[in-house]
Amino acid sequence: MNLDIIAQLVQILKDAPELGAIEVRRGLFGAWSSVRVSKAGVVSNAGGGHHVVVAQAPSPGALHAPAGGAPGTGGGAPVAAPSHLLEIKSPMVGTFYSAPEPGAEPYAKVGSRVAAGQVVCIIEAMKIMNEIESEVAGVVREVLVENAQPVEFGQPLYRVDPHA
């Protein structure tokens, strides 16, 4: 998929606030097999394709937020992470699980030391349990989601202090 098409899809999402997501599926040999548009607040877990690209519509606050994005402004906009903390973000849409099974100790919690490549959580997507590995080493300073909470692509899960 070329960047012009991606830019057009993002512009469509910006221009149509009633849209929640545009999903493009590629079949064999990179050919497009389907394009699906969903309304805001509607989530679908259709299966099938080999590769899925989902463009989420920006939140209404994000469209009107000042370019500087100063913490504490913007009427409910998320506060930016302190600059020295690195975020571990969700690589997919799904359900976040902090431990390998119910009742087990979490993979990572506040104060835990994590290494690059270490499993920090599981995200269930389309009935598949995906182990999520940390891309950074350091000490977990914040866990940003609750166990069994739905998460979005790119949503921060943990904040890690790489200098600790």
pLDDT digits (tens, 9 = 90+) for 22-46: 666 665 555 555 666 666 654 444 4
Q: What is the mean pLDDT of residues 152-164?
A: 92
Provide the 3-class DSSP secondary structure of residue 10: helix
Burial of 134 (0-12, 13-18, 19+ CB in 10 A): buried
Amino acid in position 51: H
Residue found under tokens 């991606």: 6
pLDDT digits (tens, 9 = 90+) for 71-97: 444 444 455 555 789 999 999 999 999
Domains defined along the chain, listed by start: 3-64 (no CATH), 86-161 (2.40.50.100)
Provide φ and ψ at 110, rounded to 5°.
-55, 130
Q: With bands split at pLDDT 50, 70 and 90, how would you rate the model's confidence at 100? A: very high
**pLDDT value of position 58:** 46
Q: Looking at the predicted structure, is the pLDDT value of residue 158 above 50?
A: yes
Q: With bands split at pLDDT 50, 70 and 90, how would you rate the model's confidence at 49? A: very low
**pLDDT value of position 38:** 66
**pLDDT value of position 79:** 55
Q: Looking at the predicted structure, is the pLDDT value of residue 150 above 90?
A: yes
Amino acid in position 158: Y
Q: With bands split at pLDDT 50, 70 and 90, how would you rate the model's confidence at 12? A: confident
Mean pLDDT (the chain) is 74
